[in-house]
Structure 1
Amino acid sequence: MIAFDLQCANGHTFEGWFDDKTAFEDQQKQGLVTCPFCDNRNVFIVPSTFAIPKAVNAPSGPRQSSGLAVGDVSAKIVEFMEQNFDDVGANFAKEALKIHYGVSEPRNIRGVSSPEEEKVLEKEGVPLFKVPLPAKKGTEDA
């Protein structure tokens, strides 16, 4: 599955999940892709703003580094996930299925799952995104 940033002719932006770009195009031709805000069917893919810094009064010379190292970015991602996702631990697959089938309220969750559980989630059509987490400081193996 791939997530595309989409926009309708009225300027509403939203996210859509598809198997690939061809699947999006096929569904769009069939009129199946609509804006969740206004039901407009004139929907198109827009460039993603994820991890693209907005330049304000950018110098015209050589590009300057943002000063963020890979470790800093990883730490920011972890911090975001800890603040915005419920940690369900080893119950990830079970909770994801409950949310998928409407048994539990929709919410962002994080946790761990086995390869077998991930196959079940994929078979059931549950979107899954794996994020490798860096070791916490002081817990690295010596």
Structure 2
Amino acid sequence: MIKYALKCAKAHEFESWFQSAAAYEALQVGGHVTCPVCGDSGVEKLLMAPSVRPARKAGAEKASLQAPASEVEQAMAALRAQIEANSEYVGVNFVTEARKMHAGDAPERAIYGEAKPEEAKKLIEDGVPVAPLPFLPKRKAN
């Protein structure tokens, strides 16, 4: 698709979309391109600048995506920092480690990691105290 700025012989300016430059030419030669204001078929293309999005300032967007934007995001970032500072990340071994601690086969400590929903549900059913975290591990977050 291509958009052209057009002008009729009576100086009405308008824009229109065409399938291609060749399609515009074929319609123009056949007298099918007309002014939507007055119906004049004496239409010509105007000089147009291409539609270009402005460049982003280097680093500005990256900084804004990294910094918490609201109070809720700030609270989530603080919670994450507290959990990461005071707990051990056990990754995909979370279910195994939680079961070992619950059974007394491993020393009790604060851990966090990953579990499939059905595995987490089974832990809860078996009396193992777990809670979902409201964020992804850093290796899974972009």
TM range (shorter): 0.3 to 0.5
Larger Rg: 2
TM-score normalised per structure 1: 0.46
TM-score normalised per structure 2: 0.46
